[in-house]
């Protein structure tokens, strides 16, 4: 049975000791150091050179995500499992940018913790269930976005003219006079634009026109 030399770093004493106790019950994890201060993790890592470093996202003195990047800069083969306090896209993106191998939430079941720790210690990637769902939803969202046709391409020449005049602050009557059409026709074009672009009001139309000025030319 291969022993996994492990560092556990978390600012909360009860959580840190509880985490270490769970790992010790498996018999394969040897806790070489428990650290409560982010600034001390780098020194401990250099001293122990562990098979696994379990590191909380938020630590006193220095954040865990920063520590992870510093460790990986010095040792690209470092096996780091990050523990997240929050489940959101920002946390997921910071983890992906860090180069760490694993991420789970602190509320994860003990079996998930052990599974993640064992896999990361072997140099395998591990993404906790909550973050895996988030990643899947993000892929679906991006895929749907790619499938949607470019709304600008559906806008007719006349509608582009009306959009341009709306951004100048002209009323429907003023636009009608300028384009030699009736105010009712202007309103019809405006309504069609709202439907095409899935917008709610004229202010949103103006904002869309300003944000897509180059594409509308």
List pLDDT tens digits, range 35-54: 999 989 999 999 999 999 99
| Predicted confidence (pLDDT) per residue in 160-215, tens digit | 999 889 888 888 899 999 899 998 999 999 999 998 888 888 888 888 888 888 77
Alpha helices (H) in 49-182, listed in sequence order:
64-74, 89-98, 110-121, 129-147, 157-167, 172-179
Q: What is the mean pLDDT of the chain?
A: 89
Determine how β-strand 126-127 pairs with β-strand 52-56.
unpaired
pLDDT for the residue numbered 208 = 87
Q: What is the DSSP letter of 54?
A: E
Domains of the chain (ranges, CATH numbers): 4-141 (3.40.50.2300), 151-216 (1.10.10.10)
Nearest by Cα to 196 from 161, 165, 152, 162:
152
Mean predicted confidence (pLDDT) in 153-157: 87
Phi-psi region of 27 (alpha: psi -120 to 50; beta: other; left: phi over 0): left
Nearest by Cα to 43 from 52, 35, 51, 31:
35
Rg of the chain on CA atoms, in Å: 27
| Predicted confidence (pLDDT) per residue in 75-113, tens digit | 999 999 999 999 898 998 899 888 899 999 999 999 999
In angstroms, rounded to a whole number, what is the distance separating the alpha carbons of residues 106 and 12? 12
pLDDT for the residue numbered 145 = 60
The predicted model scores a pTM of 0.65
């Amino acid at each position: 049975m291969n022993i996994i030399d492990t560092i556990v770093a978390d600012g909360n004493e009860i959580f840190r000791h509880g985490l270490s106790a769970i790992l010790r019950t498996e018999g394969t994890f040897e806790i070489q150091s428990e650290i409560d201060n982010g600034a001390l993790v780098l020194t401990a890592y250099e001293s122990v050179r562990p098979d696994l470093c379990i590191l909380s996202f938020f630590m006193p003195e220095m954040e865990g995500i920063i520590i992870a990047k510093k460790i990986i800069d010095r040792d690209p083969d470092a096996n780091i499992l990050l523990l997240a306090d929050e489940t959101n896209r920002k946390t997921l993106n910071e983890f992906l940018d860090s180069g760490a191998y694993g991420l789970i939430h602190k509320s994860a079941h003990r079996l998930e913790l052990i599974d993640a720790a064992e896999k990361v210690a072997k140099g395998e990637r591990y993404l906790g269930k909550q973050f895996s769902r988030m990643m899947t939803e993000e892929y679906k969202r991006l895929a749907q976005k790619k499938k949607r046709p470019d709304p600008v391409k559906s806008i007719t020449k006349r509608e582009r003219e009306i959009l341009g005049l709306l951004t100048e602050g002209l009323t429907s009557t003023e636009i009608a006079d300028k384009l030699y059409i009736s105010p009712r026709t202007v309103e019809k074009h405006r309504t069609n634009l709202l439907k095409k672009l899935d917008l709610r009001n004229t202010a949103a139309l103006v904002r869309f026109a300003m944000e897509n000025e180059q594409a509308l030319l």
